[in-house]
Amino acid sequence: MFTKKIGNTDIEVSAMGIGCWAIGGPAFNLDGTAIGWGDVNDEDSVKGLHAAIDAGITLFDTSNMYGCGHSETLLGEALRGRRDRVVISTKFGWVFDAERRMKLGYDISPAYIRESLEGSLKRLQTDYIDVYFLHVPTCSTEETEEARDTLNSLVREGKIRTYGWSVDDASRAKCFAEEKYCQVMQFSENIFEDNEEMEKLIEEYQISGFNRSPLAMGVLTGKFSTGSRLQKNDIRGREGGSRFFTNGGVDAAYLKKVEAIREILTQGGRTPAQGALGWVWARSGHNIPIPGFKNLRQINDNVKALEFGPLSEKQMQEISVILKNL
């Protein structure tokens, strides 16, 4: 199994994790707009999680906000009796109504961080969290520093093992990265979104990067066409929900890009998804992609990417040239 250490900790994980946003199911903003990935089958989700564990995946990333607690609950059920075999990453910061599956706002005060942690521990059926992320990308400097101090205390108390921030802004992330207990950041990274500033940050501080959207929310799997349409309760199906989608389907410009690089991504017997994951590993030795899933087929496809590893330097250069010329 292709593995990596998380930052300077002794926490070793599979070089790819499994993201659990999609399996949380529907969730909404106060105005009713979707922030989840549409309808899912819980039985299929648990089967997929079990298959990932059996295949050697040891990192699972979720949030208390995914499905307003539902993703954590499912993951806790799937990991029952297997907790000692895996590393759990979850997040805090958003306030939500679980019954209505509604995001209400955010709170990262010390008291609410501790309250959120206890809720996550209960849903995940565990007594500690391996990696705990701040999930709110924009908050005041004072709030951020206070949250950071609380997280340091939680590490010392043994409630969490390390922490980070799910944010794409390196200038904001630095105040966390400077702390010895912060050994990981989470940020968006894929062929269409190469976050050089966050890559520089994790290199400078020698910490890990958990990569959100390594498959560009499914676009890089090659499964979409001009006629593809998303559910209205899927964040990808609402206008403004994702840069990759418009009018309920994939933006034609991205379909063109996928087609242009398909031959390179699939060299050596890879699928497009496996090639896209190989691109993320090739970008930085600190990267750990965390693709999501909705079914067993997607789990199996993603897991096999570990057998191929990173793309070659030549392949990376060819992809870069093609995309620049489109």
Catalytic residues: 66
- The total of other beta-carbon atoms located within 10 Å of residue 156's CB is 10
Contact 18, 290 (CB under 8 A): yes
3 state SS for 12-58: EEECCCEECCHHHCCCECCCCCECCECCCCHHHHHHHHHHHHHCCCC
Helical H runs in the chain? 42-54, 70-78, 110-124, 141-156, 170-177, 196-205, 252-265, 272-283, 296-303, 305-308, 313-324
Contact 99, 90 (CB under 8 A): no
Contact 137, 65 (CB under 8 A): no
